[in-house]
Amino acid sequence: MTTTEKTDVLIVGSGFGGAITAYHLAAGGARVTVLERGPWLESRDFEHDFLLGSSYTRAFDFTVGDGMSVLGGNCVGGGSMVYFAALPRAPRFVFERQGSIGRRMWPSSITRDSLDPWYDRVAEAMGVRTQDWSDVSYAGGLWGAACDHSGRTANPVPVAIDKDACVNCNWMMAGCRFDAKKSLVFNYLPAATAHGATIRPLHEVQRLERLDDGGYRVHYNVVDGEDYRVTAGSGAIDAKIVVLAAGAGATPVILQRSEADLGTMPHAVGRYFSGNGERLNTAVVDEDRVRDVLGLARDDERAYEAFQIGKGPCVANWDRLDPSLPEYSRYSLEQLYFPPALGTILAQVPGAPSPSWFGADKKEMLRRWKSWLIVFTMSEDDNEGVFGPPPPTGNAVRLSQQMLGRGPLSYRPTANTQHGWASADAEVKEILEKDGIARVAPWTNDLVGAYTVHPLASCRIGDDPHTSALDDRHELRGHPGIFVTDGSSVPGALTVNPAMTIAALAERSVPGIVEAARARGLDVTYGAPAPDGATSGSGNVLTTAGRRSS
Amino acid sequence: MPTGAPDEGSIETRTLEAFADTVLPGAKRAPDDTSIAGRSHDAGAVEAGALELLRTPATGLTSGLPEFAELLNDHAAGYAAEHGLSAADGEPPFVALAFEDRTALLRNLTSPGHPEKEFWVMLALFCNMAYDSAAHTSTPEAIAAGHPGLRAMGFAAPDADGLLRFEEYSYGRPLARLHPDTTPSGSPA
Ligand SMILES: Cc1cc2nc3c(=O)[nH]c(=O)nc-3n(C[C@H](O)[C@H](O)[C@H](O)COP(=O)(O)OP(=O)(O)OC[C@H]3O[C@@H](n4cnc5c(N)ncnc54)[C@H](O)[C@@H]3O)c2cc1C
């Protein structure tokens, strides 16, 4: 008979929710094991290559659902390895949102003010900095100038990018080869392993089982390193505390699959999924108008032709993040680079008759690719995503060796969500088509549904047990000892990029997890500094944490 | 300049070529090239390597290709019958359709609500990827070899180590007023 392995704290997933909790619990003295479904890639593995099987496809998970597709990270470091490192805080009004439930959806204990110390702490750990206009790519500059030309403001967004190391290659979605992008493998994860945490790549958690001692047995499959459809073994680990951080597209699926063993899940598990109200618009700019109307030039010959150059989103318009506006009409408009392969197919030819995502007109549009500008809109959606019965393993039936899968998420946008999308699309058009600067069209939802890189809220925190799966300490209602700390815990759309908020919530959840661990007889303490030893934010945090546990 | 020999392939090859050519059309490789409709004056998805990509096992599609081709020809035969089009001798039904009819059929197969939509979208996605990212070849090699899609799009060539770098990247000057409620952290208030 084989003995099952044991650990104190078992963490599922190594993205923001997993890495941050792993670090603090390991630093506090717990034995921590992290199971991560994806491979462990290092800087030298990050290629500038679209070839299937290169880092680009190994590090990603693209799950097509019914009405909504989700793109996420699939490697040690999770979404932080493939993200664009834009890390704004969520505006104050977001925490007051009511969404579809008709009363404040966030727990009463969380406001922008109460979260700010935790945001400070993440900013310190991740190296978040403000940018100025000299950091901004041509595409960001063009977007800023267009906003200005139409009487609007525009802001360089805060980022976790080392500007001296960045070469503006725009390959950051395939992992940063130049160590310029500050992902979790530079801070929380090495700090966690330095404190004894174990990270096991290619371990995909399938389900949890409750043990007689009140702990949990976590069942996993080992995934083949090249063909993710192939299982190379399986096993189980027992733990006193389980932290689920597999991302908002995967965490609820693990819980649903565990329901047979664990008993009934809270109603909100696998419901209220939000795509952060995202849409992408592709503009094809008129080079002459860029020069004549906006007064921009790269050199004597070229006004722009720079879509490929840069570092993801650099400049955002925040004029509609106005707390006095009604819900579902607030959004941000952010310039973004989305590379070919994943992005191009969904772009529609502005003004062309249907079909406008394929065919002769589309090919002509590709010829003008250097003159593209993409604007990413993040609005307030209605949390309408629902997960159906779980697939046999993981969160999707994998179709290709890597990346592409079919998942159980379905999403039927309500009139509120559609209103948010339509208003944002209309404003992008108004800004960019003014005086003939560009022609714009939104991406089509007809092929793979709506599309999000910011999945949220499928297992959300809240005060109301019916509409939230977690209490405000991130503990799963009715299942003590199971915590959820990833994007699925965020109650709803944020109108800005979410990683900063996911990370701040994960930071904030740790004192509660430490308390629960102590109650289960583990000798764990709370109070570690930021991973690099910086402490400027931790004074605030310790006061806040102390208040919470008293 | 178009390259490669047309119509040598099996029914499956010709059918899939015609499908790829509907997604991103190219120029005929020879006057009697029937799979490529000839709607463009330069290389399209077929020349960019759509068939090579579809036949790369990593896509997960490879084993299903014969069925895709057969199904597509069934749909094409149905479309032809419905629209009173006569079948061309010896041509697979999809290849026999004019470019506009291929387009109409593909639009129908990929429209929301069509029961086979997901398969056709996936097939179209990979045809598109052959052109816009040459996912069957290493990108630096594809660029060095003058891959038609990447060349048409103006994708920049990497340095000798296969990595891209752009020294010039910014207009380098303020281009808009900041939002008045920006906090010192650079975030919205
Ligand atoms: C292309 C792209 C660009 C982005 N850019 C930005 C940006 O600029 N700013 C921003 O704020 N956000 C950005 N995001 C979003 C950001 O990456 C996510 O919001 C964030 O990573 C979510 O954190 P998380 O902890 O919820 O999950 P993730 O970071 O997704 O981590 C979840 C981890 O769990 C693993 N996992 C899943 N299932 C299992 C399982 N069954 N067993 C074990 N492990 C499992 C996954 O492989 C993954 O590593 C971007 C996302 C993408 C895809």
A338: which chain B residues are within 8 Å (Cβ-Cβ)? none
- Helix A499-519 and helix A538-549, axial crossing angle in degrees, nearest 10: 50
pLDDT at A3: 72
d(CA A5, CA B95): 59
Q: Identify the CA nearest to B133 among candidates A310, A344, A281, A74.
A: A344
Contact check, Cβ <8 Å, B153/A155: no
pLDDT at A164: 96
Q: Report in angstroms the alpha-carbon separations of A108 from A104, A118, A286, A498, B175.
A: 8, 17, 49, 20, 40
d(CA A387, CA A256): 9
Over range B62-70, report the average pLDDT.
Answer: 96
Which atom of ligand 1 has the smallest separation from the CA of A159? 8
Contact residues for B6 (Cβ-Cβ < 8 A; gap 6+): B28, B29, B30, B32, B33, B34, B35, B36
User: For chain A, how long is the longest CA-to-CA vector?
Assistant: 78
Contact check, Cβ <8 Å, B173/A155: no
Q: Identify the CA nearest to A280 among candidates A353, A206, A357.
A: A357
The number of beta carbons lying within 10 Å of the beta carbon of residue A151 is 10
Looking at the partner chain, which of B61, B163, B185 has a beta carbon nearest the beta carbon of A123? B185
pLDDT at A4: 86
Contact check, Cβ <8 Å, B187/A319: no
Mutate which of A12, A181, A451, A453 for ligand 1? The one with the most ligand atoms within 8 Å of its CB, which is A453
d(CA B79, CA A470): 53
Which atom of ligand 1 has the smallest separation from the CA of A254? 41
pLDDT at B126: 97
pLDDT at B30: 95
**Alpha carbon of A397 to ligand 1 centroid (Å):** 19
pTM equals 0.97
Contact check, Cβ <8 Å, B171/A340: no
Does the pLDDT value for residue B28 go beyond 80? yes
Q: B89 CA to chain A: closest CA distance, Å? A: 26
A73 φ, ψ (degrees, to nearest 5)? -75, 155
Structure tokens at A315: 């400049």
pLDDT at A549: 41
- For B150-185, the pLDDT digits (tens) are 999 999 999 999 999 999 999 999 999 999 999 999
d(CA B154, CA B151): 5
Q: For strand A203-210 and strand A482-484, is the pairing parallel, antiparallel, or unpaired?
A: unpaired
What are the per-10-residue average pLDDT scores of chain A (550 residues)?
85 98 97 98 96 96 97 98 98 95 94 97 96 97 98 98 97 96 96 97 98 97 98 98 98 98 98 98 98 97 98 97 97 96 91 92 97 98 98 97 97 98 98 98 95 98 97 98 98 98 98 98 93 64 54
